[in-house]
Amino acid sequence: MKLIILGAPGSGKGTSATVLREEFSLAHISTGDIFRANIKGNTPLGIEAKSYIDKGQLVPDSLTISMVEDRLNQDDCAKGYILDGFPRTIAQAEALDEMLSKKNTGIDAVLSIVVDDEEIKARVAGRRVCEKCGASYNVNFKPTKVENVCDLCGGKVYQRDDDKPETVEARLKTYYKNTQPLIDFYDKKGLIVEGDNNKDSQICIDQIKEGLKAKGLI
């Protein structure tokens, strides 16, 4: 099964992707995570990406597309995957179509995670992430048991630079301008499966699974 997960920053798409990855044994390809790993490793890609990410802007399509193409060619993707954070522009979506049609394949469904605007802002401002295992917390809604220590692995929990309030506004603007049009793009292809993540992530996951069942994918 080849899935895309779409949603605003802070909509919980990373969390939903993690649950679905486990349940359906999919490779989880998060472009944000790949960029952050490159930034941590000080690679040329990381250095270039950081200058955009810190401003809440998108990394240029050319860099992002070739990075994803490399990743999709790795062996673990053969069992199916969930793309988290890609595509984020129509140009990226068209490039993905082209990449996959060269392999005579295509995306099976696009999961759209829906959350109200005000809720998004509150969630992103409070979000904290484990630097070791990537687990996600929220100082307002889902705090760690011990302050700044991951419940799962004991790693240090921190606030991403791009979750600082001054960057969040810019990221949301970028999302509405560049990424939201993708919902229409994929709706026209009949691929959208919606999950409402305003209340409970379990409700969201259940809706998504119902949608995948209705499409005969699970």
Active site residues: 13, 88, 127, 160, 171
The binder of Zn ion chosen from 152, 156, 184, 189 (CB under 5 A)? 152
Amino acid at 147: E
For tokens 């930034």, name the residue.
39
Count of residues that bind ligand ADP according to CB under 6 A: 17
From the centroid of its chain, how far is CA 74?
19
For tokens 């490159």, name the residue.
38
Phi, psi (rounded to 5 degrees) for 116: -65, 150
- What, of Zn ion, ligand ADP, none, does residue 9 touch, CB below 5 to 8 Å by kind? ligand ADP
Tokens of 13: 């798409």
Q: Does 52 bind ligand ADP (CB under 6 A)?
A: yes
CB-CB contact of 107 with 118 (8 Å): no
Q: Does 38 bind ligand ADP (CB under 6 A)?
A: no
The binder of Zn ion chosen from 79, 132, 164, 173 (CB under 5 A)? 132
Tokens of 198: 């305003």
- Integer Rg of the chain from CA: 17
First to last CA, the chain: 9
Q: Does 149 bind Zn ion (CB under 5 A)?
A: no
CB-CB contact of 157 with 148 (8 Å): yes
Please identify, using beta-carbon distances, which residue of 49 and 130 lies nearer to Zn ion: 130
What is the β-pairing status of strands 192-196 and 109-114? parallel
For residues 161-180, which are near ligand ADP according to CB under 6 A? 162, 171
Min dist. Cβ of residue 105 to Zn ion (A): 34
Q: Give the x/- contact pattern for ligand ADP in 89-128, rule: CB under 6 A.
A: ---x------------------------------------
CA angle, corner 169, sides to 164 and 174, nearest 5?
A: 120
Q: Does 133 bind Zn ion (CB under 5 A)?
A: yes
Interface stretch with Zn ion, choices 7-15, 49-57, 143-151, 181-189 (CB under 5 A): 143-151
Q: Does 81 bind ligand ADP (CB under 6 A)?
A: no
32 C-beta neighbours (distance < 10 Å), count? 19
Site residues (vs Zn ion, CB under 5 A):
130, 132-133, 135, 150, 152-153, 155
Site residues (vs ligand ADP, CB under 6 A):
9-10, 31-32, 35, 52-53, 57-59, 64, 85-86, 88, 92, 162, 171
